[in-house]
Amino acid sequence: MNLIARTVCVLMLSAIASAAVADEVITVGPRPMFLVDSMKDGALKTKLRSCAAMPITRKLFSIGHRGAPMQFPEHTRQSYVAAARMGAGILECDVTFTKDKELVCRHAQNDLHTTTNILASDLASTCTKPFIAASGDKSASAECRTSELSLAEFKTLTGKMDAADKTATTVEDYMNGTANWRTDLYAASSGDLMTHAESIELFRQLGAKFTPELKSPSVEMPFDGFSQTDYAQKLIDEYKAAGVPAADVWPQSFNLDDVLYWIRNEPEFGAQAVYLDGRYDDGLKPDDAATFKPSMQELADLGVRYLAPPMWMLVTVRDGKIAPSEYAAQAKAAGLKLITWTIERSGPLMTGGGWYYQSIKDVTDSDGVMYELIDVLAKDVGVVGIFSDWPATVTYYANCLGLE
């Protein structure tokens, strides 16, 4: 077989394999109905129960947050495939960079000590802060960064569930801190780390679209001549190199300057750039429009079209019911499209739900509240997408309610 024939054969086999993955039957498993069973009786529960036997299709409304990290190591090939098989129409690669300025999928540049096996590998010596055992009132600690590794070194690591036991006195115990409502079942034998470019190809094979997040560097920028704008541009360039249409990409950042850079310098991609709103750390109060700085209209005037706050900022409690917040109302009035995060990030909800449910903790007393919240976010707030650590939950709702 000559070179041309071999190349054609490889391309055909690749196309067949890609189609096979993308055409897999989407399944949501038992969790959506478990949540439905936990709901209080009412019209929403009846509606969701009526969809139990319906065929499930992929939905853009369902966004895989780092893949499916409730049970699979985040940002690994296995986690992404699991999310796609649960019908996530959009998948997220959080983008950091290595010492040789290659883009990789990690939630933070300095999280390798909790998300990989680096502390138990020969690369532990590269960690910015080596493992220190817990002692007295002092917690165990470590810090390991992608920017201390070459891409080749990074690719030798294995992903694990994001966790650390801060009471540990050994590396082994420190790495073994997974919450009891998650699992290490799938992390024990797999956890393939990915470059950003590899994630693009995989997501395309899986039939999903793309929402990369440009992460805040843990190093001072510029880094060896690599500026913040170089970083933001390189992210977009990898989609261009792969021939991905801008309409299939929602680039994200908590840094408004990154979003504005894309809007001004890459207008096709900037049209769907997502401003992740972390201003709750700077005094923003969802029920007080005077604390929205910039205001919703000012964001819109800057060219921002997509805004993504955490769920609790979009809702409040009125007359004992979940309802849209002033933040949600102001965003809607300014014509901003809303995306939110993160369903299935908390453990069992019977005691208030924790950080993600803080504005509705008084009515959060069972796992069934999850679908009540999703319903308000979809119908009353009008979000166009919801991130989830277990996309089956959102996929099921979107199918049952006929969302995109």
Whether residues 76 and 115 fall in one domain: no
Structural domain boundaries, residue 148: 110-182
Q: What CATH number does residue 65 fall under?
A: 3.20.20
Residue 322: inside a domain: yes
**CA 15 remoteness from chain centre:** 27
Rg (Cα) of the chain, in Å, rounded?
Answer: 21
Q: Position 227: which residue type?
A: S
74-97 burial, b for 16+ CB within 10 Å, e for fewer?
A: bbbbbbbbbbbbbbbbbbbbbbbb
With tokens 């065929």, the residue in question is: 55
Percent of the chain having pLDDT more than 70?
A: 94
Across the range 200-207, mean pLDDT stands at 98
Q: Average pLDDT over the chain, rounded to whole?
A: 94
Distance of alpha carbon 18 from alpha carbon 22, whole angstroms = 6
- Confidence band (pLDDT; 50, 70, 90) for 23? low
Whether residues 340 and 207 fall in one domain: yes
Model confidence at 202: pLDDT above 50? yes
Distance of alpha carbon 296 from alpha carbon 333, whole angstroms = 8
pLDDT in tens, 300-355: 999 999 999 999 999 999 999 999 999 999 999 999 999 999 999 999 999 999 99
pLDDT in tens, 175-191: 999 999 999 999 987 89
Residue 263: inside a domain: no
The dihedral region occupied by 83, where left means phi > 0, alpha psi between -120 and 50, and beta the remainder, is: alpha
Whether residues 51 and 171 fall in one domain: no
Whether residues 206 and 335 fall in one domain: yes
Distance of alpha carbon 233 from alpha carbon 225, whole angstroms = 14
Residue 332: count other Cβ atoms within 10 Å of its Cβ.
16
Q: Of 189, 197, 198, 187, which Cα lies nearest the Cα of 68?
A: 187
**CA 220 remoteness from chain centre:** 25
Residue 52: inside a domain: yes
Specify the pairing of strand 306-308 against strand 337-343: parallel
pLDDT in tens, 236-262: 999 999 999 999 999 999 999 999 999
Q: Position 187: which residue type?
A: A
pLDDT in tens, 354-363: 999 999 999 9
Whether residues 375 and 317 fall in one domain: yes
Distance of alpha carbon 295 from alpha carbon 289, whole angstroms = 8
Helix (H, G, I), strand (E, B) or coil at 328: helix
Whether residues 202 and 304 fall in one domain: yes
pLDDT at 22: 58
Residue 43 backbone dihedrals phi, psi, to 5 degrees: -65, -40
Whether residues 338 and 385 fall in one domain: yes
Q: Of 210, 213, 250, which Cα lies nearest the Cα of 231?
A: 213
Find all residues with CB under 8 Å of 86, minimum gap 6, and list them: 26, 27, 28, 29, 62, 64, 68, 390, 391, 392, 395
β strands within 244-376, DSSP E: 252-253, 274-276, 306-308, 315-318, 321-324, 337-343
pLDDT at 57: 97
Last residue of a domain, one of 162, 182, 202: 182
Last residue of a domain, one of 161, 182, 203: 182
Find all residues with CB under 8 Å of 351, minimum gap 6, and list them: 365
Omega within 30 of 0 (cis) for the link into 309:
no
pLDDT in tens, 97-111: 999 999 999 999 999
Whether residues 137 and 78 fall in one domain: no
Model confidence at 20: pLDDT above 50? no
Whether residues 291 and 348 fall in one domain: yes
Q: Of 27, 70, 66, which Cα lies nearest the Cα of 344?
A: 70
**CA 319 remoteness from chain centre:** 32
Number of structural domains the chain divides into:
2
Q: Position 245: which residue type?
A: P
Model confidence at 267: pLDDT above 70? yes
Distance of alpha carbon 66 from alpha carbon 390, whole angstroms = 10
- Confidence band (pLDDT; 50, 70, 90) for 12? very low
**CA 364 remoteness from chain centre:** 23
Residue 145: inside a domain: yes
How far are the Cα atoms of 11, 175, 260, 296, 358 from residue 291, in angstroms, in the given order?
Answer: 55, 40, 21, 11, 19
**CA 207 remoteness from chain centre:** 17
β strands within 50-199, DSSP E: 59-64, 88-91, 94-97, 103-105, 129-132, 141-143
Whether residues 131 and 68 fall in one domain: no
